[in-house]
Chains A and B, each alone.
Chain A
Amino acid sequence: MIIIFALFLLSLLVITALAIVRTKNLFVAVMLTSIFSLLMAANFFILDAADVALTEAAVGAGITTVIFLSALALTVEREKKVRSGRRLAMVVVAILATIMIYATFDKPRLGDPEAPVHQHLAPWYLENTPVLMDFPNVVTAVLGSFRGYDTLGEVFVVFAASIGVLFILGVKPPEGSSYDPEASGLRHHLIPQVVGRLLIPFIVLFGLYVQFHGEYGPGGGFQAGALIASGVILYALLEGEAAALRAVPQSVLMGLVIGGACLYGAVGIVCVLLGGNFLEYSVLASDPAKGQQLGILLIEAGVGMAVCGALLTIFHAFAARPMRS
């Protein structure tokens, strides 16, 4: 049954991808990428990767779409005529796809317990996580502790993206721009406003749940940060950009980004000062398992702050640009 469902989702995925390539209307393309992300999230869920599915749904289908739309508001909706290269690109992509499909002929069967990925590291993680950290979610253990350095790196990827957007878009809008921050928003549309307002507290609450429940169920800082940010973005869409900035000012957002990244790094430094290696949380408490839990709790908080702040910074940087008249 699940195979049929997976096949159905995958063919939808291919159709959506082709439609994105074909369409000349960028608004349609953005909507289709959003659908693509949602389908992808469903696929991840079928593969039992609930953590990834959650992130994909929140970031891919939600926030990226809003940011794409804000970017589209600054440019035009129709794609420019491409002079050359599209056919060549298609040929290159076709060749690459063939090679990759060829490579998968020798791949282990999906879910094969004898596959190398299930034989080498995974059993060790599964066996040792409950002993070393005393909680059940191995994904959180891998992301937060065993490969915590990668996660620190990813936080800085998000940070790099946000300073990039600020640096490039952060220049002052040109004189005589037609932008009125008070006029935006959906204040005059009753139904979206009522429904949206009802949703916001639940989104934020769910975000907090995902943040603090990561050790036991799917979740963690990335997902939580994205969910909370999407709650605030929804508020900005309903009440206008200016109202959202009054609720959570720009300085607070930068504080979240800088504070979150530094909190993560500081946990690592403290581990070194207490005699361990960088990010070796075991030394944080007298009981190594408690130390691991404390470390993961703190770094997840850092991730959540940084991601939430960065996504909102990027959103505001786009939204605050003057609209095209």
Chain B
Amino acid sequence: MDLTPHLPALQVIVPMLFSPLVLLLKPRGLAWAGATAVALLSFAIALNMAIAVADGAHFKYDMGGWEAPYGIELSVGAFSALLLLIVTGAAAAALLASRPSVDRQIELERQPLFYSAWLLALAGLVGIVVSADAFNIFVFMEISSLASYVLIAGGPDRRALPAVFKYLIMGTIGATFYLIGVGLVYMMTGTLNLADMAARIGGVTDINPLLVAAGFITIGLALKAAVFPLHVWVPNAYAHAPHMVTVFLAACATKVAIYVLIRFDFWVFQANLEQHALQFSLFLMPLALLGILVASAVAVFEGHIKRLLAMSSVAQIGYIVLGASFVTESGLTAASSHMFNHALAKGGLFLAIAGLGYHYRDLSLAQLAGAARNMPWTAAAMVICGFSLIGIPGTAGFISKWLLINAALDEGRLAWVLVAIILVSSLMALAYVWRIIETLYFKTPVDEEAVHGEAPLQLLLVTWLVAIANIFFGLFPQFPLALSSAAAQLLLRQTL
């Protein structure tokens, strides 16, 4: 039978239904193998859909056979296809590389639970991305959040527990705000399907509840997306999570929240509320700019490598939000392509850090001095991904920064301020990446006697795969770019 029409459903169902089954895989290593196979299968499904979407296809799926708005609709267009690639790709790469690191950090008898939670987090994130129904998005937000709290709390580091508690409180507030907003829109339109909402909001005369709804939804999702200044949960959550969990979540979790924010806003509110585009820009652009500057500055002075890169993530989220806040096709193209490229760069960096973490218990920069002597391959991969993060030509990061500057130039009188801020923050990125390189290559080791080996081969291979992908997509950016610009057009046409 032909499974192609079922792909959007299978994307979610495959990881979701396998997650309880992974619990049964008790013998050593089997849970890892099962989870990795499922993640790879999910990636294959996403790739399949992305290729079809790049050729102009648009997937729609009626859950339970009930047509929207009576049932729940799934929809995969260019924007969702791009996000699906990021999420499943990050999960597959991280799981593929995870075994040596997870074996060190998580006891054997708890590993089936760990991998089961991982698949749930994956299912939750892809479930959000494919859904075209406001309440269904909330349900999958709950699944992905609960599972990621579990993953972050899982490591041997006890400091993860207070970090995760903070994340839990903030995440719950964010999700509740989103739900309040959806409730208000439902009250005024009587529907939960996004396309149907957009169609019916036009006819609503008392728009105050809708304005409040737009506010709650924007702030709730901004909290989940760690938009400055709502990012306070990020540094510790990333720093104390098991290394492989950081790889997975840093590459995609906050991006999915931004995706919902952008999609909800453009599809439901932009065309229907007067002057909404202006308010959207006025609210998000200053936050994005502040976030870019402040978070980059904090990263320059941060002494712990994982927290440093977590702060850098907050700045990068600023770039994505900045692109979206232009409300232009070029801005949205830059934003979506930066989602893809940042996932590559940050994923690669955290993979390399997982390699360092295999030998170094303490990941503060002071302890990592001279690490490149023992681990030349890990350090080299880190340099490549670091260049991509800065936006050096020839790497993926360059492409989206270039697009972002181009988009900023269309902003009239503001253009030079925006370009200046992007350039200054790129210099700050150069500064903090250089601090890492300097530490790894040019500082003398704290403990001259200690000779560490290279990172485990499995981990190293995946790290290099991602590092090479950073160069590959810097030289041949056509495929993600095609998806990004199609996504931008889709967002501005406000069609699902």
Chain A positions within 8 Å of B, measured between CB atoms, are 99-100, 102-108, 115-122, 124-125, 145-150, 153-154, 156-157, 159-161, 163-164, 166-168, 170-171, 254, 257-258, 261-262, 265, 268-269, 272-273, 275-282
User: What count of chain B residues pass the 8 Å CB interface test?
Assistant: 60
Q: A149-B63, A168-B150 are in contact. Are A116 and B190 (CB under 8 A)?
A: yes
Q: Is the CB of A103 within 8 A of B209?
A: yes
- Residues of B contacting A171 in the complex (Cβ-Cβ under 8 angstroms): 107, 110
Q: A116-B188, A170-B110, A261-B20 are in contact. Are A160 and B6 (CB under 8 A)?
A: no
Cβ of B72 < 8 Å from any Cβ of A?
yes
Return B148 CB to nearest CB of chain A, in Å: 10
Give the 6 A-B residue pairs with the shortest CB-CB distance, closest first. A280-B65, A106-B206, A120-B190, A116-B190, A153-B139, A103-B212
- Residues of A contacting B204 in the complex (Cβ-Cβ under 8 angstroms): 116
Q: Is the CB of A145 within 8 A of B66?
A: yes
Return A269 CB to nearest CB of chain B, in Å: 8
Which B residue sits closest to A282, measured CB to CB? B65
Q: A168-B153, A277-B63 are in contact. Are A122 and B208 (CB under 8 A)?
A: no
Proximity bits, B259-291, A CB within 8 Å = 1, else 0: 000000000000000000000000000000000
- Residues of A contacting B229 in the complex (Cβ-Cβ under 8 angstroms): none
- Residues of A contacting B212 in the complex (Cβ-Cβ under 8 angstroms): 99-100, 102-103
Which B residue sits closest to A120, measured CB to CB? B190
Partner of A119, one of B1, B63, B190, B208: B190
- Residues of B contacting A107 in the complex (Cβ-Cβ under 8 angstroms): 187-188, 209
Q: Is the CB of A150 within 8 A of B64?
A: no
- Residues of A contacting B191 in the complex (Cβ-Cβ under 8 angstroms): 120-121
Number of A-B contacts (CB under 8 A): 165
Q: Is the CB of B63 within 8 A of A279?
A: yes
- Residues of B contacting A153 in the complex (Cβ-Cβ under 8 angstroms): 127, 136, 139-140, 142-143
Chain B positions within 8 Å of A, measured between CB atoms, are 1, 6, 9, 13, 16-17, 19-21, 23-24, 61-66, 69-72, 107, 110, 113-114, 116-117, 120, 123, 127, 135-136, 139-140, 142-143, 146-147, 149-150, 153-154, 180, 184, 186-191, 200, 204, 206-209, 211-213, 215
Return B98 CB to nearest CB of chain A, in Å: 16
- Rounded to whole angstroms, the CA-CA distance of A272 and B16 in the bound complex is 16
Return B491 CB to nearest CB of chain A, in Å: 25
- Rounded to whole angstroms, the CA-CA distance of A268 and B61 in the bound complex is 14
Q: Is the CB of A163 within 8 A of B13?
A: no
- Rounded to whole angstroms, the CA-CA distance of A233 and B135 in the bound complex is 32
Q: A103-B208, A168-B150 are in contact. Are A146 and B70 (CB under 8 A)?
A: yes
Q: Is the CB of B189 within 8 A of A258?
A: no
- Residues of B contacting A122 in the complex (Cβ-Cβ under 8 angstroms): 190
Which A residue sits closest to B63, measured CB to CB? A149
Return A35 CB to nearest CB of chain B, in Å: 22
- Rounded to whole angstroms, the CA-CA distance of A157 and B150 in the bound complex is 12
- Rounded to whole angstroms, the CA-CA distance of A303 and B204 in the bound complex is 38
Partner of A159, one of B9, B120, B135: B120
Return A211 CB to nearest CB of chain B, in Å: 21
